[in-house]
Amino acid sequence: MKKSRTTFSILVLLLFVCVTSLQAQDAGLVVRSPLFGSVPKETTGQETLEIQSYAAQLGLAQVQVELDANQRVLSAISNPAYPVTPGDTFRLVYLDGMKTVTLDLQADDQTSVAIPGLGVIDGKGLTFQELRKRMLSMVQTYHSFSNPQVVFTGTGSFTVSVVGEVVGTRIVPAWGLSRLSEVVQSASPYASTREVEITSVDGQTKTYDLYRALKKGDLAEDPLLKSGDVVRLKRAAKLVSLGGNVYQGGTYQLLAQDDLSTLIASYGGGVLGGSDVQNIRLQRYNSATGIWDVHYVDLVKNPGFALQHQDQVIVDTLPPSMQSVTIEGAIATSEAFDTLSSTALVGYTSGRIFYQFYPGETLKQMLSSIAPRLMTVSDLDGAYLLRNTEKIPIKAQQILYGTSEQASMRLQSGDTFIIPFNQRFVTVSGAVVRSGVFAYVPDKGINYYIALAGGLSDDATYPTSISVYGPDGKKLDSSLPIEPESTIAVAKNTFVRDIAPTVAIIGLVSSILGIVATVVNIILDAKSLYP
């Protein structure tokens, strides 16, 4: 019963992830018909975006959990980077002949530790583990068979000063494992997260980027603090707010070179489906008039639009009355329209465009508008239109470059225009370095395609087991030349089968591959799902 419940819970989790992934795939590039012209959007009322707190900008908890004395000791012992801190206490036990000597020691304000009768150890710049080794070595130097033991009994503490863009100068308590991000809670919302200075007692000043530390995982930008450090917070140079139809709205401190596209794509995580990317609302404070001016920026035509300090950017949704068709398949959704490798399908998963068409716009007018996004692998003669429940073959090549009765066909809201890939492919999966889809080359055998995939990986079975399956799923003779649309499967030396196709289908990111592998193992053990 317990095993069944566990299996059910994991299946529910996997279903949630799948649904989330599929939902994420709904987003696509929004392209507006050029027939709309350059008529500016009617200015709407100003919408104030609140400046997030300093902690919220960095994703810090407003209230930090304080560790008690025992928790600090355990953290110090388990962390090899723990530095010797003024006030740290230790217990040293060793044998002096037949007598047991027990000494309670403490690091002074210079991090020196004096051992009565033996000497003084300078703990400056040492970790606890390094100090411990020196203490043991000193005892053994004078007492060879003393079997010395060092026990960490208590952590010291110190204070650091936080000055600059804060609510008054703050003296903040800290200890050996306190990091920069833990002492800046009093910073104002306008304090810089990208340039935080720390001046040590020796007068050296270093600058750190807390945004990079906490948002990008660069721990080197969030250093451990030391006694006497002075933390200086500058005023942010380029503070911008982002809101509306984006994945992650908020207040962001941009670097000098960051522009509108960087703000939306890198900081905000991109736009959601149905976003009006050709009318990005920009609210900019006018110091001369004392009011906020509202402008609209076309992200497609002007992605490098320069932002200013305290700009507010809002991504609006398309009006409900705006009609659109969906274009899917061999269509480019970036500006790198045609960079297909001759051997592999690199960066050319099926694209999706939401095309906002002008009332009465024809199929020829739409194709002419998206023509720059067509690729060498676009099968124009194999294209078709899905309208309601009808599948209508479309000779796009004739419509664009010749004569066709379909050229005057008018677009309807909800139409889906499919452009297949014209190149045939071979799939290589399993125990290879790079599983993927590769361009078909006539008269080539399995060794050719395995070489394209980077060769066999370390988890390939020995002797190697390779199977070839045709488009209909039937097993083929692996000694013969590979047929187009075939699949080459290299067996892995594991109970887990190659799950790359599954991962590709559900769009899972690499960080959850371990979860999927675990689910597959459970399913195999239960003999319920995986064939």
The verdict on 413 and 335 lying in the same domain is: yes
Per residue in 422-474, pLDDT tens? 777 888 988 899 888 887 888 889 999 999 888 998 888 888 889 999 878 88
Report the pLDDT value the prediction gives residue 516, as an integer from 0 to 100: 55
- 149, 162: one domain: no
How many Cα atoms are found within 13 Å in the side-chain-facing hemisphere of 143?
A: 18
Task: Residue 165: give its domain's CATH number.
Answer: 3.10.560.10
Q: Is 12 contained in some domain?
A: no
Q: Which long-range contacts (CB under 8 A, 24 or more apart) does 252-259 make?
A: 252/57, 253/57, 253/192, 253/193, 253/194, 253/211, 254/307, 255/194, 258/307, 259/303, 259/304, 259/305, 259/306, 259/307
User: What is the share, in percent, of the chain residues with pLDDT greater than 70?
Assistant: 81
Please compute the mean of the pLDDT values over residues 45-57 and round it to a whole number: 83
Q: What pLDDT score was predicted for residue 471?
A: 79
Shared domain for 415 and 430, answered yes or no, is no
Rounded Cα distance between 120 and 106, Å, is 11
Q: Where are the alpha helices (DSSP H) in 438-499?
A: 446-452
More confident residue, 43 or 477: 477
Say what the pLDDT of residue 50 is.
Answer: 87
Enclosing H/E stretch for 396? helix 396-401
Q: Out of 104, 133, 154, pick the residue that ends a domain.
A: 154
Whether residues 463 and 491 fall in one domain: yes
What pTM, to 2 d.p., does this model score?
Answer: 0.54
Higher pLDDT pick, 36 / 307: 307
Last residue in a domain, options 104, 120, 154 = 154
- Determine the Cα–Cα distance for residues 146 and 193; give it in Å rounded to an integer: 52
Confidence grade of residue 153 (pLDDT, cut at 50, 70, 90): very high
Structural domain includes residue 287: no
Domain boundary among 102, 122, 154: 154
Pairwise CA distance, residues 319 & 321, whole Å: 5
pLDDT of residue 515: 58
Give domain status of residue 372, yes or no: yes
373 domain-assigned: yes
Q: Residue 484: is the preceding peptide bond cis (ω within 30°)?
A: no
Residue 348 has, within 13 A of its CA and on its CB side, a CA count of 30
Pick from 145-149, 268-272, 283-287, 507-511: least confident: 507-511
Compute CA distances 349 → 98, 336, 353, whole Å.
77, 13, 13
Confidence check: pLDDT of 337 > 60: no
Tell whether 405 is covered by a domain: yes
Name the band, by pLDDT with cuts 50, 70 and 90, for residue 338.
very low
Q: Coil, strand or helix: which one is 164?
A: strand
Q: Is the pLDDT of residue 4 over 90?
A: no
φ, ψ (nearest 5 deg) of residue 363:
-65, -40
Query: How many Cα atoms sit within 13 Å of 450 on the Cβ side?
Result: 20
The count of domains in the chain is 4
Q: Where are the alpha helices (DSSP H) in 59-204?
A: 69-78, 128-142
Q: Are both 337 and 412 inside the same structural domain?
A: yes
Residue 377 sits at φ, ψ, to 5 deg, of: -95, 10
Residue 95 maps to which CATH number?
3.30.1950.10
Please write down the long-range contacts of 32-40, taking CB distance under 8 Å and 24 or more positions apart. 32/278, 32/355, 32/356, 33/355, 33/356, 33/357, 33/358, 33/361, 33/365, 33/366, 33/369, 34/369, 35/357, 35/358, 35/361, 35/365, 36/356, 36/358, 40/296
H helices present in 473-512, as ranges? 500-506
Contact 327, 353 (CB under 8 A): yes
Q: Confirm whether 143 is domain-assigned.
A: yes
Does one domain contain both 330 and 412?
yes
Q: How confident is the model at residue 289 (pLDDT cuts 50, 70, 90)?
A: confident
> What is the enclosing helix (H) or strand (E) of 105?
strand 99-106
Give me the pLDDT at residue 349, please: 59
Task: Please tell me whether residues 393 and 468 are part of one structural domain.
Answer: no
Verify that 352 and 328 share a domain, yes or no.
yes
Please report whether residue 282 resides in a domain.
Answer: no
Is residue 298 assigned to a domain? no
Query: What does the block give as tokens for 311?
Result: 């700009």
| Claim to verify: residue 414 and residue 328 sit in the same structural domain | yes
Contact between residue 253 and residue 273 where contact means Cβ atoms under 8 Å apart: no
Is the distance from CB of 292 to CB of 283 less than 8 angstroms? yes
Q: Which of 408, 446, 410, 406 is nearest to 429 (CA)?
A: 446
DSSP 3-state of 369: helix
- Range list of H helices, 199-342: 210-216, 260-262
In terms of residue numbers, what domain contains 100? 86-154
441: helix, strand or coil: coil
229 with 162, same domain: the answer is yes
Contacting residues for 217 by C-beta, under 8 A, at least 6 apart = none
Which residues have a Cβ under 8 Å from the Cβ of 380 and sit 6 or more positions away?
A: 374, 395, 396, 397, 400, 419, 422
